[in-house]
Structure 1
């Protein structure tokens, strides 16, 4: 698993897993009608993929209005993906997070701004040292309004870079929750070499960029 990779080879000391550079999003996924997830107890859900889900989960959980962020898999064409199967690149899935948030406190547009602002949005098929289709950037929309918001923010972000924005914009279909040991991984494994060298620095860069969005206990 990831912890074994990072402890075995020096390359993997700074990598979340193995690499696979295939283009894997199928047309039937890209062109499917989006599935809209209803509010539950007043809370909404949004879905993002941006490299290792350990990193993305930690970023969103530091944000005001976010109740929880869950690691999992989305964007692919197979049922019941696992960490091992998604790492092959043949399932089409990317490591993703389900962000459960209070829309009265934080809106979808802000979550999208966080998404683009907490990564290198020009990196293709990976993020940082995590290279492969399972680490590609995807931002999921559940309806046309969300799609328009994503495209607006993406266009604004694109003005800041010379390279094109790499994130795919896909209709949300289904989110598969990852194995238990992946949940809250950064919080529970602070001594892991990957967490210390990649995940925590990425979180700290986000905190420095968006201090006004942090929960009180995160603003330090």
Structure 2
């Protein structure tokens, strides 16, 4: 009986490790990946920027890119102590950064409050330093604010979420002033769409994106299905 349970535990652990956001893509050697930093887009007239951390950025990038009024989403790192960190450095859980996304959007089309709704819809904000199989402070929940008005909006959204009755635990999202955002390596940008058959994307990211789109269906771009 003990041997069977131990074998089952090892199988489960192996499966989780095989579907981790930090797991290197199979058959994709470093020499084949563009590890240079991604580029930040130029801010357009009447456009605003929002920055969030909500677990693996492969998933959250695809979620927010689905929304009407969002022009571009960049995956990267924020909330840490060093400049221009690499994916490997952030993965050590020692730099203080979280996998984050930076959202370039038109507030006349999609209000900041709607982005906050999407943020809480897209991940489990009651999970401390973990989203599914991804464990570590680099996967913590953070809403970065740039103005006092954004901080007030985040605080109000957290109160609403806590009072909604949807959760058995309190929201653990950090509310942090924005300081710097460093784009992740080029090969991480658009990862969800470029690797649809990868195990992590199929088993972890895709169900989360589909659930997100169903709950945010009134805000999806034309042609994006839930």
TM-score interval, smaller chain: 0.7 to 0.9
Within 1, Cα distance between the matches of 2:188 and 2:72?
A: 14
Aligned to 1:206: 212
Aligned to 1:166: 172
Q: CA deviation at 1:41?
A: 2.4
Tell me the SS of whatever aligns to 1:10. helix
1:96 aligns with 2:96: no
Aligned to 2:15: 10
Aligned length: 193
Q: Which runs of 5+ in 2 are unaligned?
A: 1-13, 24-41
Within 2, Cα distance between the matches of 1:40 and 1:217?
A: 24
Within 2, Cα distance between the matches of 1:64 and 1:12?
A: 35
- Of 103, 126, 134, 2:130 maps to 126
Moved over 3 A (4+): none
Q: Tell me the TM-score normalized by structure 2.
A: 0.82
Q: Deviations over 1:21-50 (max 9, x none)?
A: xxxxxxxxxxxxxxxxx9632211100000
> What is the root-mean-square deviation in Å for CA atoms of aligned residues?
1.4
Q: Deviations over 1:185-207 (max 9, x none)?
A: 00011011000001010000111
- Of 76, 81, 89, 1:77 maps to 81
Q: Which runs of 5+ in 1 are unaligned?
A: 1-8, 19-37
Q: Deviations over 1:105-131 (max 9, x none)?
A: 001111011101111111110211111
